Structure 1
Amino acid sequence: MTYTIYAAAALAEIAGCFAFWAWWRLDKSALWLIPGVISLIAFAWLLTLVEANAAGRAYAAYGGIYIAASLGWLWLAEGVRPDRWDIIGAAVCIAGASIILLAPRGA
């Protein structure tokens, strides 16, 4: 369930940030900011749903999932296919996030 929440949060964060990018860098309408802000609010809310005993640990693990999701966005939304180094880097990040998330910790 945690990975699903992180994936949804990553999609919300990337979409929200892309809306700002589109407005600022691609000269899109300022109306792009409305769904962008809503998406960023959804991102922040989703991260609060993760079961973690420390916010910093939840954010650190999220970072690995975010990197992989960003490469998915690169491919699907921007039409740039990730290369083997992108894939290797994302796999390392997901492995690191998994170590953080799944490590046995005492109560």
Structure 2
Amino acid sequence: MERAESIPNLTPVGREAEVDLVPGTEVMTEIGGARFYHNEDNPDSVVLIPQPTDDPHDPLNWSMFWKTLVIVNQGIFVIASVIPALSIAPLTPVFMQQWEKSLTDVALLVR
């Protein structure tokens, strides 16, 4: 494990923890003088994880158009990658008859 200080992209809250953190760990409690952003000004309200930033590359700050474009792009990718693989299975008996091959040969797409 790495020390919190040696992880470059860790939030200041994690650095103040001075504990060993597994990479990818989110510190979800306020430690020392560090403060998290809360859902409201009330410190007893829900802690916002991930913490909001002013970074324009943060997905929380993307415009609605860009978020929609990314979701549609991912949907098209999933459909384009899953449908061809699933469309072969119903045609297996046809391929077996057409090419006079065994089920194993057709399933493995052997010539």
TM-score bracket relative to the smaller structure: under 0.3
Kindly name which structure, 1 or 2, has the bigger radius of gyration based on alpha carbons.
Answer: 2
TM-score (norm 2): 0.22
Higher helix content, 1 or 2: 1
TM-score (norm 1): 0.22
